[in-house]
Amino acid sequence: SYVLTQPPSVSVAPGKTARITCEGNNIGSKSVHWYQQKPRQAPVLVMYYDTDRPSGIPERFSGSNSGNAATLTISRSEAGDEADYSCQVWDSASDHWVFGGGTKLTVL
């Protein structure tokens, strides 16, 4: 089955740029989606189809996807961006939906 690998944690200083990676075999050929999850809350979609932002998500959030890695980039990081971020794809080979293990973003 298809596997997505994320770093367990990423730290960033306020106002700086955070980059969260999601690695998978030839992930560039798939559409990657990202979710933000704050403690005791349900996940929220923050990026879809690699680079598209849902309405209400700040322009500070952007995405890219190429080769074997997709990246969620958060510019001008704020304390309110602290959360777990998970990537997700649909694997056509198995017709299953797959999540990465999640990355805890700390803004300090």
Partner 1 sequence: QVQLVQSGAEVKKLGASVKVSCKASEYTFTTYYIHWVRQAPGQGLEWMGLINPSSGSTNYAQKFQGRVTMTRDSSTSTVYMDLSSLKSEDTAVYYCAAERTHGASTTGYFDYWGQGTLVTVSS
Distance, CA of 86 to CA of 108 (rounded, Å): 20
Q: Contact region for partner 1 (CB under 8 A) — 16-24, 39-47, 63-71, 75-83?
A: 39-47
Residue 108 near partner 1 by CB under 8 A: no
Dmax (CA) for the chain in angstroms is 41
- Restricted to residues 44-103, the positions that interact with partner 1 (CB under 8 A) are 44-45, 48-49, 54, 86, 88-90, 94-102
Distance, CA of 70 to CA of 26 (rounded, Å): 10
Residue 7 near partner 1 by CB under 8 A: no
Pairing of β 103-107 and β 83-91? antiparallel
Query: Where on the chain is the footprint of partner 1 (CB under 8 A)?
Result: 1, 31, 33, 35, 37, 42-45, 48-49, 54, 86, 88-90, 94-102
